[in-house]
Amino acid sequence: EVQLVESGGGVVRPGGSLRLSCAASGFTFHDYGMTWVRQVPGKGLEWVSAINWNGGSPGYAESVKGRFTISRDNAKNSLYLQMNSLRAEDTALYHCVRGGGYNHLDCWGQGTLVTVSS
Amino acid sequence: DIQMTQSPSTLSASVGDRVTITCRASQTINTWLAWYQQKPAKAPQLLIYKASNLEGGVPSRFSGSGSGTEFTLTISSLQPDDFATYYCQRYNSYPWTFGQGTKVEIK
In the predicted structure, residue A101 carries a pLDDT above the cut 90: no
Query: Sorting pLDDT into bands at 50, 70 and 90, what band is A56?
Result: confident
Sign of torsion, CA B92 B98 A73 A65? positive
pLDDT of residue B1: 86
**Residue B86 reports pLDDT greater than 90:** yes
Q: Which residues of B touch A110 (CB under 8 A)?
A: 43
For chain A, say whether B16 makes contact (Cβ under 8 Å). no
Question: Looking at chain A, which residue has its C-alpha nearest residue B1?
Answer: A62
At A88 the three-state DSSP class reads helix
CA Rg value for chain B: 13
Residues of B in contact with A47 (CB under 8 A): 89, 95-98
Q: Is the pLDDT of residue B96 over 90?
A: yes
Q: Can you give the pLDDT at residue B95?
A: 93
pLDDT of B16 higher than 90: yes
What is the distance in angstroms between the Cα of A60 and the nearest Cα belonging to chain B? 6
Q: Provide the 10 A C-beta neighbour count for residue A64.
A: 24
φ and ψ of A112, to 5 deg: -130, 135
**Residue of A105, A110, A112 to mutate, testing the B interface (most B Cβ within 10 Å of its Cβ):** A105
- Among B55, B97, B101, the residue with its CB nearest the CB of A47 is B97
In angstroms, the CA A22 to CA A100 distance is 15
Element (H, E) at A66: none
DSSP helix/strand/coil, A75: helix
- What string of DSSP letters covers chain B? ---EEEE-SEEEE-TT--EEEEEEESS--TT-EEEEEE-TTS--EEEEETTTEEPTT--TTEEEEEETTEEEEEESS--GGG-SEEEEEE-SSSSPEE---EEEEE-
Q: Using CA atoms, how far apart are residues A68 and A86, in angstroms rounded to an integer?
A: 9
Q: pLDDT band at residue A102, thresholds of 50, 70 and 90? A: confident
